[in-house]
Amino acid sequence: MTPYISIVIPVYNEEGNLERLFGRLYPVMQNMGRPFEIIFTDDGSKDRSLEMLKNLAASHEEVRVVEFNGNFGQHMAIMAAFEISRGEIVVTLDADLQNPPEEIPKLIAAVERGHDVVGSVRQKRQDSFARKSASLMVNVITRKMTGMQMSDYGCMLRAYRRNVVDNINRCSESSTFIPALAQTFATNPGEVAVAHAERVEGESKYSLYRLIRLNFDLMTGFSVVPLQLFALLGILTSLFSVAFALFLLVRRFVVGAEVEGVFTLFAIMFFFIGITIFGIGIVGEYVGRIYQEVRQRPRYVVRRVHGAADE
């Protein structure tokens, strides 16, 4: 029977959460009374996660497991599962149980009301102050840069209509951010409030560096605003430099030559050099993305798909 709902879950070193996750998710899906499938993608786990997932696939016909040949990242893990998903509605869910599986029916109901992409907004987040602050900064900056109106970019509990998933599958970027990519294909996006729980086992896979990297992917992958802002900054700096040069020229004729301001000039010079280096970094980020795309290397390598008679 063709599934109506596909649940997509990326997994990386989550052996402490998988049994608890499946024990809560499976009854939720059964109680919905709709045909469903659950697709796990093992993203090169180094613990017992893959072994546990293969056991689930062997004992439950609704479960399939995509086994990666290495670690390719959360979003590539989701993309691989999207390609083999069959449901009319596809739901993404993290394996850490911070987003309760019991919230899935809310998203399904929102899609059935007519939304083609449904995001979720975490209520009473159980994260540290530093992580919530970083998330808030990413949300604000991304909304300003991309013009996309999503309240919570960091929550991966989301639902997509089949046509949106098909359009995502046609994209071939080597680096992307799926919620933002889906938003570009959505005609009637929506959001629902969901609960949020503290992580019980394991640790977050997003370090400070990866969060910064994610923000760069969002800004440079979906907008040229950084380049436009830097061009504007360059124009303003040039005008300021001309005005300052005229000021120094007039001052020389009125006051005369002096050397006391040499350190001020050095400070101004270092400021301009800093701006230049920052601009080179922004341009380099775009050039780097172009370089990644023109190499046309595989975004991920699937070793094997387990379950459903092993495809």
**161-214 pLDDT tens trace:** 999 999 999 987 777 778 888 888 889 989 998 888 776 665 655 555 566 666
Instruction: Provide the 8-state DSSP code for 97.
Output: S
Centre a 10 Å sphere on the Cβ of residue 94 and count the other Cβ atoms it contains.
20
Distance CA 196, CA 209 (A): 24
Yes or no: say if 30 and 55 are a contact pair by the CB < 8 Å rule. Answer: no
CA-nearest of 96, 90, 94, 230 to 165 is 90
Domain definitions of the chain by residue range: 5-205+297-306, 225-295
262-310, pLDDT tens digit by residue?
Answer: 656 766 777 777 777 777 777 777 777 776 677 677 888 899 999 875 6
Q: When comparing pLDDT for 216 and 46, which is higher?
A: 46
User: ∠ CA(57), CA(60), CA(66), 5° rounding?
Assistant: 25
Q: State the average pLDDT over residues 222-246.
A: 71
Rounded-to-integer distance, Cα 308 and Cα 311, Å:
6
pLDDT at 8 over 70: yes
Fold of 5-205+297-306: Spore Coat Polysaccharide Biosynthesis Protein SpsA; Chain A (3.90.550)
Q: Which residues contact 143 (CB under 8 A, 6 or more apart)?
A: 149, 150
d(CA 87, CA 89): 5
What's the Rg (C-alpha) of the chain? 24
Most confident of 6-10, 71-75, 265-269: 6-10
- Reduced to 3 states (helix: H, G, I; strand: E, B; else coil), residue 198 is coil
pLDDT attached to residue 157: 92
Comparing 299 with 43, the larger pLDDT belongs to: 43
Please give the pLDDT value at position 147.
60
First-to-last C-alpha distance (Å) of the chain? 15
The stretches of the chain forming alpha helices (DSSP H) are: 15-31, 49-59, 74-84, 104-112, 129-146, 162-170, 178-185, 208-222, 225-254, 262-295
